[in-house]
Amino acid sequence: MKLQIKVDDNGKIIDAKFKTFGCGSAIASSSLASEWIKGKTTDYASTVRNDQIAKELSLPPVKLHCSSSFLL
């Protein structure tokens, strides 16, 4: 996954975009994570964990690795 963020002078993420190749779970995880961090600080973004993403998307344990591509 490739993540691009646009940050303002206060460290707030004003835009986030991603490019990923993989299964639907990987794409959904990347999409959700990029939406979660918009409007947040970079410090907050670094605290997002793949288990939070997996729980929100109700990913089965076998797909947990698909959500780890976002980790900063």
Task: Give how many domains the chain has, as a whole number.
Answer: 1
pTM equals 0.78
- Distance between CA 5 and CA 42 in Å, rounded? 9
Q: What is the CATH number of the domain that holds 29?
A: 3.90.1010.10
Q: Which residues contact 46 (CB under 8 A, 6 or more apart)?
A: 72
Q: Which residues contact 24 (CB under 8 A, 6 or more apart)?
A: none
Per-residue model confidence as pLDDT tens digits over 25-67: 888 988 999 999 999 999 999 899 888 988 999 988 887 776 6
Domain with 22 in it? 2-70
